[in-house]
Chains A and B, each alone.
Chain A
Amino acid sequence: MAEVLVYVDHVDGAVRKPTLELLTLARRLGEPVAVHLGPGAETAAPVLAEHGATRVLAADAPEFADYLVVPKVDALEAAAQAVQPAAVLVPSSGEGKEIAARLALRLGSGVITDAVDVEAGEQGPVATQSAFAAAFTTKSRITRGTPVITVKPNSAPVETAPAAGAVEALEVTFGDLARGTKVVSRTPRESTGRPELTEAAIVVSGGRGVGGAENFAVVEALADSLGAAVGASRAAVDAGWYPHSNQVGQTGKSVSPQLYIANGISGAIQHRAGMQTSKTIVAVNKDPEAPIFDLADYGVVGDLFQVVPQLTEEVKARKG
């Protein structure tokens, strides 16, 4: 059976959830072979095996952390040459997409980014994508070379499917460009204790209507009562009320949670692009004409500073 490479996104061997989702998709196409770069392969391997990895190709070198993107491309290229896979799946982060694109070019292959589903097809994998701010859904495939596809978080369920998952050393020779862009320093993002925005089942967002940085406490309180991630519209981020890392929209994160609660967000195209594929959408806005209500499964026209705290109290009461 054909093998499918899955690029492992991890922090020192702690595998991030989107990688496990990729293993689910990879099993539709063949036998998943995980590629683990950097420290922690022995920690990651049992988790990868439990979710279907038949092998874990591992390489560790300081270059992976010290230089941007290219060392990882060199390693994935080596893995692709060794395995001759039927496809390569990579998580759709900024870095993941850059790695995938350069890999594809080197392999003489097409690349598809931001897939929300991948299925086996007669002419190779078929990827589903959203286009034009999620106004369209497309189905695409690679017509040349080894399909390289990046997949967005929350695109597939995490499933257990125990496999061997033995760690094997991956030989990597770094090319001339590997040390081109030096990472001089790295400041880890402070953890908020909340779920990762793109991976969360529930996202609670605030926009212009929140009116100020300190007022985001109201949004955060609702998020915490629901165990949700916090998002913000571009207007709120541009105003400096909330970090850009939490921005939902065309130039921020694109999310697809089970439940999206938009507070004080009008619903401009730039925002809709990032949340339109959410399963259930709820909106609170004082303007009854706000376009966000066209998307909402349930909307409340009113003052978010009245509605949201009442909702938070009610959620807490019901959860006991």
Chain B
Amino acid sequence: MSLRIVVAVKYVPDATGDRRFAADLTTDRDAVDGLLSELDEYAVEQALQIAEAADDAEITVVTVGPEDAKDALRKALSMGAHKAVHVEDDALHGTDVIGTSLVLAKAVEHTGFDLVVTGMASTDGTMGVLPALLAERLGVPQVTLLSQVSVEDGTVTGRRDGDAASEQLQASLPALVSVTDQSGEARYPSFKGIMAAKKKPVESLDLSDLGIDASEVGLGGAWSAVDEATARPARTAGTIVKDEGEGGKQLAEFLASQKFI
């Protein structure tokens, strides 16, 4: 039977742009162009490799986000995913990670899965907890923060490099994995892939399709609130010297003046 892989991805403001908050203290998605979160490219890549190693596999890429989030799905499809699901609803604006995990869980269940693959964190919210929340909601093992992953005979194995130790993990499918940026460079879409992606199916769903009440999501349904966002004051211009042979000594003098030595 076909291995059903679902990759959850996020459409985020480009991290190299001048990201900021909107008036309601949600992420401003208009100020900076969006794209598929770089860390999710690793998830798509590992899903593709797992699918290639399997006899028969189908990859569905899922996102929750505004109209433009389709760009993230197209990127994943052009890399080689087979089809996409886009959950879009005006009521979703301002949804926190708890609410996002609810919507994704419903969308993943709607799609049907043996393996869910995610990145390690988004590049905008950067919390890194969505994979764990999704596993909790789906009631499947979490095999997360993997720098190496493989699937064989209904078992997922992977290596998790933590602060104190490197762990070899193992779980039975169905399961959820998250992969880090150490898992392997993501492929570039080929021209053929980009053309093919235009014809791949993208299913659009709203909250009612998933049986979610609008009160459970959005800014109003969030279980946490941002009360203030303040731009970090620009650092005051420091002293920059050109090394004329004494640069190291001058630096030592500065460190001594600041009582570091």
Which residues on A are within 8 Å of B, measured CB to CB?
A: 11, 68-70, 73, 93-95, 97-102, 104-106, 108-114, 126, 130-145, 176-177, 180-189, 196, 202, 226, 244-245, 250-251, 258-259, 269-270, 273, 276, 280-282, 284, 288, 293-303, 306-315, 318-319
Contact = CB atoms under 8 A, between A and B. Distances in A.
B102 to A, nearest CB: 9
A131 to B, nearest CB: 7
Contact of A259 (B181, B231, B255): B255
A94 B224 contact: no
A111 B97 contact: yes
Contacts of A298: 238-241, 251, 254
Contact of B258 (A251, A280, A294): A280
Contact of A284 (B39, B133, B246, B251): B251
Contacts of A11: 164
B71 interface: no
Interface of B: 15-16, 19-21, 25, 39, 96-98, 101, 120-121, 123-124, 126-129, 131-133, 135-137, 139-145, 147, 157, 160-171, 175, 180-182, 222-232, 235, 238-243, 245-252, 254-256, 258, 260-261
A140 B225 contact: yes
B241 A180 contact: no
B144 A135 contact: no
16 contacts: A111-B98, A113-B129, A135-B19, A135-B232, A139-B226, A143-B224, A176-B139, A188-B165, A251-B181, A280-B258, A280-B260, A300-B248, A302-B243, A306-B243, A307-B243, A313-B248
A141 B129 contact: no
A121 B152 CA distance: 51
Given A184-B169, A296-B240, A307-B243, A93 B251 contact: no
B238 A296 contact: yes
A318 B226 contact: no
Nearest to A101: B129
A269 to B, nearest CB: 6
A138 B247 CA distance: 38
Nearest to A277: B232
A94 B232 contact: no
If over half of A's interface residues share one DSSP class (helix, strand or loop), that class is named, otherwise mixed; here it is mixed
Nearest to A104: B98
A185 B168 contact: yes
Nearest to B220: A143
Given A101-B132, A187-B166, A306 B247 contact: yes
A182 B170 CA distance: 5
B169 A111 contact: no
Contacts of A126: 227
Contacts of B141: 68, 177, 180-181
Contact of B128 (A94, A135, A259, A306): A94
A104 B97 CA distance: 11
Contacts of A300: 240-243, 247-248, 250-251
B98 A189 contact: no
Q: Which of A132, A244, A270, A296 has the most B CB atoms < 10 Å from its CB? A: A132
Nearest to B139: A177
Given A113-B128, A137-B232, A187-B167, 5 more contacts: A100-B129, A110-B98, A288-B240, A307-B248, A310-B247
Contact of A105 (B101, B227, B250): B101
A98 B255 contact: no
Contacts of A258: 260
Nearest to B248: A310
A180 B140 contact: yes
B133 A311 contact: no
A95 B162 contact: yes
B230 A98 contact: no
A136 B171 contact: no
A281 B235 CA distance: 10
A225 B97 CA distance: 43
Contact of B142 (A100, A110, A180, A293): A180
Nearest to A130: B232
Contacts of A99: 132
Q: Which of B161, B225, B246, B256 has the most A CB atoms < 10 Å from its CB? A: B225
A297 B229 CA distance: 25
Given A132-B20, A259-B255, A302 B165 contact: no
A269 B254 contact: no
Given A110-B224, A306-B248, A94 B145 contact: yes
A136 B182 contact: no
A307 B242 CA distance: 10
Contacts of A141: 224-225, 227
Contact of B165 (A135, A186, A250): A186
A226 B229 CA distance: 36
Given A187-B166, A300-B243, A202 B248 contact: no
A247 B10 CA distance: 24
